[in-house]
Structure 1
Amino acid sequence: MSPRTTSDQVARHGWPQALATVLGALVAMGVVAALGLWAAGATDLPDNAFPRVVAATLVTAVGGTIKLSGNAGELAQTQAGLTVIPLSVTLVGVVVIAAGFLRPLRRRAVMGAAELAGWAGRVAVVWLAALLALAFAARQTFSIDLGEGAIEDLGDLFGVAPKLGFTTDVPLTVFFGLLWLAGVLVLALLVSRGAPLPARLLRFQESVRPAAYAMVVLLLTYVAVGVVIALVVAATRGHAAETMAVILLGMPNLVWLALTIGLGATWNGQVAGPFGLPMPHVLDEVLRTEDVSALNLSTLSQHDGRVWWLLVVDAVLLLAAAFVMAARSPARMRAWQHAVRMAVALTLTVLMICLVCRVSAHYGLSILVFGDLGGGLSGKLLLTPEVWPALGLAALWGLATGFLGGLLARRVRRRGVVDVDGRR
């Protein structure tokens, strides 16, 4: 089949394929989100709010913004905010969209920039329509039960009927949702060895693609290991529903956090009120303090000495990733070049983790004459990284493992020039 024939097929079938790609991603993400929220007990929400909560989960999974609002009457006030990305749902969307985007590009060595942009543009147009539909579907208001006893009496006395609602910031959702899609499409082109590139970019594929592929394999391996550990814990210690909720909504949030902690990075956080970190419990123990606490290998080891295994796991998996990168690179590359590329790739990966794994959630209700009622009516969850030290540690780890991985891959048959007495 000639390149022109393949190009014509892509152009003729582009819109149906773009629609199938986006709908496939939304269905897959929606199923994962719905099952995760069901396991977390969200089906008990009032006013048939479950579908809208699923829509809100999809919005946050692709970088959209959800705004929380509260109302508690004239003599009371509420404050609420939420910043968290359900990365399990995100990961499913990334895989499905990347596969759908790359499918019509198979068996192509080179593709013109205009043709590639046209195919990406079709996906973006359909994705934009989907974002708008999700943005207008993700809005709901809940009534907050004050419970029984003195708090309920105070609510009746002062006419306090607290409500909490959420809506979507449509402009920000569209902006970040399209930015998210662009990142997914670029990543798909970088990771896939067989995906075509414009002729002007071919010279970058030998240096960029092996490193990008190695980082994706590294991240997915951590997720796979986390899922296995979670299933074992669920089978031996119970709490199956809570474990499934973590797997289906936030497994990458936990394991990628563990990756950075194993490198020596520090996260600062605090847990108060009903909020908590579902797994592992040691995180909740460290962060449930009056002030912001540091979360790193040192503080975690004071509660559970097994966390030092994170250091060992990081060393093994990073060395394996560096070996994969070197094995997929041309043989003419030196060990120091692998070290530099691994350092850059790992630094960018850790930066991504620092951006997407941070969490901020708070809710508070107070009657003006009594102040914060506390108890189950207020809570706080905060988790933010110390970014620059984390990036510095990632660069050092990348240099060390990249150099060793390059040395280990020397005996592997690879593409490129092999210098043996000046011959190929």
Structure 2
Amino acid sequence: MSSRTLSDRAAARHGWTQALVTVLGGLVAMGVVAALGLWAAGAADLPDGSFPRVVAATVVTAVGGTVELSGDAGALADAEGGLAVIPLSVTLTGALVVGWGFLRPLRHRAVAGAPELAGRAARVAALWLLALLALALAARHTFEISLEDGPLGDLGDLFGITPEVGFSTAVPSTVLVGLVWLAGVLVLALLVSRGSPLPGRLLRLETSVRPAAHAMVQLLLAYVVIGLVVALVVAATRGHPAETFAVVLLGLPNVAWLALTVGLGATWDGRVDGPFGLPMPQVLDAVLRTPDVSTLNLGTLAEHDGRVWWLVVADAVLLLATAFVSAARSPVRVRAWRHAVHMAVALALTVLMICLTARIDARIGLSVLGIGDLGEGLSGQVLLRPRLWSALGLALLWGLVTGFAGALLARGVRRWGGAVR
């Protein structure tokens, strides 16, 4: 056996070890963040020891899976519901850990061949597939619900009804969407990392795509950091620290990136109904808790808190800084109008991602003998959907303006690529 064959086999074994560390690291990080967030939200008190399975379900939703709620109490009662919401704090944690683990072996490399990158990605995907199967099978549980006092409780006592509600995930769709999520994370990691190698045929992306992509990731992380600072201040000055930390650990990017789109002028439609809601600031709950679907934008938020107009200022400053960073890291030969186009496309794609991942559709209910419209006190809905096309149009407009201005500001600092032609 040649030394080359032995070296290839050793590299393959080492590659599997690196892939295993990447997958396990991502899952453990997501599980810890999800568990802490659910604990802060009070989910540790759920009956029948269901907390670990709720954590598994949260991780499943973090990679795009959907949790379905169902249950019954024989022929006299029925329960139904669904949960389509992505806890983006958990998602962001997993994406950062998995992306870092995938890129770490490639550091200090100038070029990496496409077969090598594909092989590394395939190993990660194979182990990720097994992990998704385990999570989807674990994310299911059934427990009893107390009807408490009132008409429903009386009917339950009369007919001996003990409603049971369970949750589960669809294994095939969870695996498919989870693999798509992983592919997106790995591709995005390669695109935004300035130090990771690319195949020779894709080196042109080094100058045309990476500066804008990297700047957009910095923009998103900046909003998360700002949101974290605001959350800590709120927890220290207004009390309710558990609720605040639940928002931070489960849905901080949901709120922070929603603020980014609202500051651009985007409009969302939503509603909060019933005794429960998802962790969110009070001003959002005030706007959305109405009998019908509400409009969420700068105008409706300003009716409750005029400080929301500062979102426009924050967007203008941060987008201009993002455009400046993108232009400063691009070749000087790239003209200002091209930077504007790059910024507009990158911002539109970023807003598209936010609109697809920050939308919410959660409902739960219980009915006994058809009474109670799925049970007063046991039913509710949280809905949040973007007006997509107007949001994308506004992103393009903001991107063109700030991209051109940022390119002009960066003219005096750019050093790479020669003179403008």
TM-score by length of 1: 0.95
1:48 equivalent to 2:49? Answer: yes
Look up the SS of the partner of 1:331 in the other structure.
coil
Tell me which residue corresponds to 2:211: 210
Tell me which residue corresponds to 1:107: 108
Shift of 1:340: 0.3
Shift of 1:332: 0.7
In structure 1, what residue type is equivalent to 2:391?
A: A
Render the CA deviation track for 1:389-410: whole Å, top value 9, x for unaligned: 0000000000000000100110
- Structure 1 residues 123 and 223, CA, compared in 2 at 3 Å: closer, same or farther? same
Amino-acid identity (%): 71
Shift of 1:12: 4.3
In structure 2, what residue type is equivalent to 1:228?
A: V
Match runs of 1:12-411 below 5 Å: 12-372=13-373, 374-411=375-412
- Structure 1 residues 8 and 221, CA, compared in 2 at 3 Å: closer, same or farther? farther
Shift of 1:278: 3.4
RMSD: 1.7
- Structure 1 residues 373 and 65, CA, compared in 2 at 3 Å: closer, same or farther? closer
TM-score by length of 2: 0.96
Runs of 5+ in structure 2 lacking a partner?
none
Contact conserved, 2:66 with 2:83, CA < 8 A, in 1?
no
In the aligned structure 1, how far is the partner of 2:7 from the partner of 2:301?
A: 55
Q: Which moves more between the two structures, 248-257 or 153-162?
A: 153-162
In the aligned structure 2, how far is the partner of 1:369 from the partner of 1:317?
A: 52
Render the CA deviation track for 1:327-374: whole Å, top value 9, x for unaligned: 111111111111000000000000000000000111122223534264
In structure 2, what residue type is equivalent to 1:233?
A: V
Shift of 1:142: 1.7
Q: Which moves more between the two structures, 271-280 or 314-323?
A: 271-280
In structure 2, what residue type is equivalent to 1:106?
A: R
Contact conserved, 2:265 with 2:394, CA < 8 A, in 1?
yes
In the aligned structure 1, how far is the partner of 2:202 from the partner of 2:279?
A: 45
In structure 2, what residue type is equivalent to 1:253?
A: N
- Structure 1 residues 331 and 81, CA, compared in 2 at 3 Å: closer, same or farther? same
Shift of 1:34: 0.7
Look up the SS of the partner of 1:64 in the other structure.
coil
Shift of 1:158: 3.3
Contact conserved, 2:364 with 2:379, CA < 8 A, in 1?
yes
- Structure 1 residues 369 and 320, CA, compared in 2 at 3 Å: closer, same or farther? closer
In the aligned structure 1, how far is the partner of 2:338 from the partner of 2:370?
A: 66
Render the CA deviation track for 1:49-81: whole Å, top value 9, x for unaligned: 111111111111111232221213312222211
Shift of 1:227: 0.5
Look up the SS of the partner of 1:77 in the other structure.
strand
In the aligned structure 2, how far is the partner of 1:6 from the partner of 1:25?
A: 28
- Structure 1 residues 5 and 355, CA, compared in 2 at 3 Å: closer, same or farther? farther
In the aligned structure 2, how far is the partner of 1:373 from the partner of 1:209?
A: 51
In the aligned structure 2, how far is the partner of 1:91 from the partner of 1:242?
A: 20
Runs of 5+ in structure 1 lacking a partner?
none
In structure 2, what residue type is equivalent to 1:58?
A: V
Shift of 1:10: 4.8
Shift of 1:195: 1.0
Shift of 1:148: 1.9
Contact conserved, 1:277 with 1:283, CA < 8 A, in 2?
no
In the aligned structure 2, how far is the partner of 1:369 from the partner of 1:333?
A: 66
Contact conserved, 1:322 with 1:402, CA < 8 A, in 2?
yes
In the aligned structure 1, how far is the partner of 2:7 from the partner of 2:93?
A: 28
Contact conserved, 2:329 with 2:414, CA < 8 A, in 1?
no
Render the CA deviation track for 1:132-162: whole Å, top value 9, x for unaligned: 1111111101211111233311212233322
In the aligned structure 2, how far is the partner of 1:374 from the partner of 1:74?
A: 16
Look up the SS of the partner of 1:79 in the other structure.
strand
Look up the SS of the partner of 1:314 in the other structure.
helix
Q: Which moves more between the two structures, 157-166 or 16-25?
A: 157-166
Contact conserved, 1:210 with 1:329, CA < 8 A, in 2?
yes
Look up the SS of the partner of 1:212 in the other structure.
helix
Render the CA deviation track for 1:227-269: whole Å, top value 9, x for unaligned: 0000000000110111111101110000111110000000001
Contact conserved, 2:33 with 2:249, CA < 8 A, in 1?
yes
